Chains A and B, each alone.
Chain A
Amino acid sequence: MWDYTDKVLDHFRHPRNVGVIPDPDGVGEVGSMACGDALTLMFKLDDRGRIADVKFQTFGCASAIASSSALTEIIKGMTLDEAAKVTNQDIADYLGGLPEQKMHCSVMGREALEQALENHRTGKTSKKIIEGKILCRCFGVTEEEIARVIRDNNLTTVEQVTNYCKAGGACGKCHGDIAALIASIQDASPPAVAQPPPAPRLTTLRKIKLIEETMDKEIRPALQKDGGDIELIDVVGNRVQVALRGMCANCQVARFTLKNVVEAKLREFVSSDLVVEEVVS
């Protein structure tokens, strides 16, 4: 069992302010089924501009429910400016702390609050506004979001970043990028991450073996997560012929991935002159 505080368990067992507001002044929706947690937060203002009522609905574990419940208690009665200053650490502190691996639950609360405030300001209702580059493709976390949790919580390791926003928690391909981001924010030299091996002159057999290894390590996990797969059909000179399988077979995004990600990875890890081609087989 997790080492939850009594306050976490109390909010989990008796969540406060569950439900919906029929005519809300702001709504924030974050998370997804795939990620394993999701939160819808809505609030209503009184005539002095303070948060008079706030409700939530959460799909998630005990600490996700507790974090959402705590958030509603924290912001009730606040002005919008006050609410905008609430951090994920405030939510965790309110609960007497969260296990390190569960800090992402508090971040989900802060993100939902920000979106609800944004929704109030601009009327935008888009579920997730993707701004900037996605660093972690497995959980769809952007560079900006990762930078935010690093700054807010003074994070120094990739593992901490994973605990706070899930980025890097699946295939691990983005660990180097996350480490570099930490270094640029914390103004230090980047923590050591495994470097790709230098490119030697390759025999065809060796090349095929390297391609297979790279596909197994770097590419397949991400595709399999979406129920798809990739198969190496043949290597002719510098042309790598592959076929997409499963869910990926009919997916345009996967096709984009093939050219931009698979080819890039193979060039990085195997040989810089490789060209990826899709074949039907």
Chain B
Amino acid sequence: MKAVYLDNNATTQVAPEVLQAMLPFFTDLWGNPSSMHVFGGQVRKHVNQAREQVAALLGADPAEIIFTSCGTESNNMAIRGAVEAAGENVNIITTRVEHPAVLEPCRMLKERGHRVIELDVDSGGCLNLADLQQALGLGKAVVSIMWANNETGVVFPIQTIAEMVKTAGGIMHVDAVQAVGKLPIDVRRAPVDMLTLSGHKLHASKGIGALYIRKGTRVRSLLLGGHQEAGKRGGTENVPAIVGLGRACELAAQNMDKEIKRVAALRDRLQQGIVNTCPDVQINGDLAHRLPNTLNISFQYIEGESIIYHLSDCGIAASSGSACASGSLEPSHVIRAMGVPFMAAHGSIRFSLSRYNTDADIDYVLERIPEIIRKLRAISPFAPQ
């Protein structure tokens, strides 16, 4: 059966070049980079090189990159570490549409007595920067706002937001898990203090993340008990995954502008094709500020999990913001925060592309979708017959 993978915001295929780069570190180069002998010393060089490769993609200094185990760890370290270092009276500002890896640490800190402000979004999933300005006026704040939303692909104006936060004397963390590798990012231009990225979202392996920490930013460590990562994150380095992440960042930087255009063209063709063949659909997320690879679309009168299962039967992988698909009883908090009505929220599907998708993939999906939608609507009590 044909397989078309359109769930790249969930995870991506490891690039063959990345796998090749990783393999020697499972066989010949297995030393501990901290060791004083040659087994360790030669491995240390590769870890350093990977740090340079990650830094290069972000416009950072290699000394500002900390390797972690995943995006969730980076987000926890950034938020909890910065709040702890800033003291009791610091406020926390975030948004209602963040990933749980940001929302949950914020809510934990709220229980410990910090004031937490979750900014609202409009129907397009965009922030009102006047709200942020007002929140910044309440006192010193650690701010954590995502660069791009995992569900809708909506991109926040991080350059402007970071400038506002810095002017107000706050500390700015950005969860850029969905943006790194998909958008040009340069921390020399955007004055963010910390930035989270995750390896498996950009064709590296799972189990590796990084946190950019601008020089001079005070962050308390989460993992104590080791001198690694300049004492900021203890634990023996996951060397194969670190080397893979370095290679993945290098690959992402190559032809980025060209790839962005190509992937956006595929996404736009998928979107237009669905709109042309399926009545009663709505696109979620502001079209003007969206990741090039993401399409979040609601099919009225039918439920997301059913759509996902039928797509899966055809070899097509996508995901849904419906309650059932998420394993909870409520639809996606992101879609609901945008005020999308319940029915459309339950019928929302996310297609997310990668550099490995082709025109043929899109043709195949467009060939299959109308039939699936028609079939499910024929069962639905809400669909106009």
Partner-B contacts on A (CB < 8 A) = 1, 9, 12-13, 15, 18, 29, 33-34, 36-40, 57-65, 101-102, 139, 162, 166, 169-170, 225, 227
Contact = CB atoms under 8 A, between A and B. Distances in A.
A36 B325 CA distance: 11
Interface in B295-353: 301-306, 309-310, 312-313, 322-325, 327-331, 339, 341-343, 346
Contact of A57 (B303, B310, B381): B381
A59 B377 CA distance: 8
Interface of B: 301-306, 309-310, 312-313, 322-325, 327-331, 339, 341-343, 346, 378-382
A58 B329 contact: no
Contacts of B343: 33
Contacts, number: 74
Contacts of A102: 324
Contact of A36 (B303, B309, B327): B303
B303 A61 contact: yes
Contacts of B323: 36
Given A63-B324, A65-B306, 6 more contacts: A1-B312, A37-B324, A58-B380, A59-B379, A59-B380, A62-B309
Contacts of A227: 339
B311 to A, nearest CB: 12
B303 A60 contact: yes
Nearest to A39: B381
Most buried by B among A15, A18, A34, A225: A34
A-B pairs, top 4 by smallest CB distance, nearest first, are: A61-B324, A169-B329, A61-B305, A57-B381
Given A29-B381, A34-B342, A36-B346, A64 B303 contact: yes
Nearest to B378: A18
A102 B325 CA distance: 11
Contacts of A58: 379-381
B380 A57 contact: yes
Contacts of A34: 342
A182 B327 CA distance: 24
Given A36-B346, A101-B327, A166-B329, A61 B382 contact: no
A38 B381 contact: yes
A9 B331 CA distance: 23
Contacts of A169: 328-330
16 contacts: A12-B306, A12-B309, A13-B310, A33-B382, A34-B342, A36-B342, A39-B381, A57-B381, A59-B301, A60-B324, A61-B303, A63-B324, A65-B306, A169-B328, A169-B330, A170-B329
A269 to B, nearest CB: 15
Given A15-B379, A33-B342, A40-B381, A61 B322 contact: yes
A13 B323 CA distance: 20
Contact of B379 (A9, A63, A65): A65
A38 B342 CA distance: 13
B229 to A, nearest CB: 36
A59 B303 contact: yes
Most buried by B among A39, A61, A162: A61
A160 B270 CA distance: 41
Contacts of A29: 381
Contacts of B324: 36-37, 60-64, 102
B334 to A, nearest CB: 14
A60 B382 contact: no
Contacts of A40: 381
Contacts of A9: 309
Contacts of A36: 303, 322-324, 329, 331, 342, 346
Nearest to B324: A61
Contacts of B339: 227
Contacts of A64: 303, 324
Nearest to A62: B309
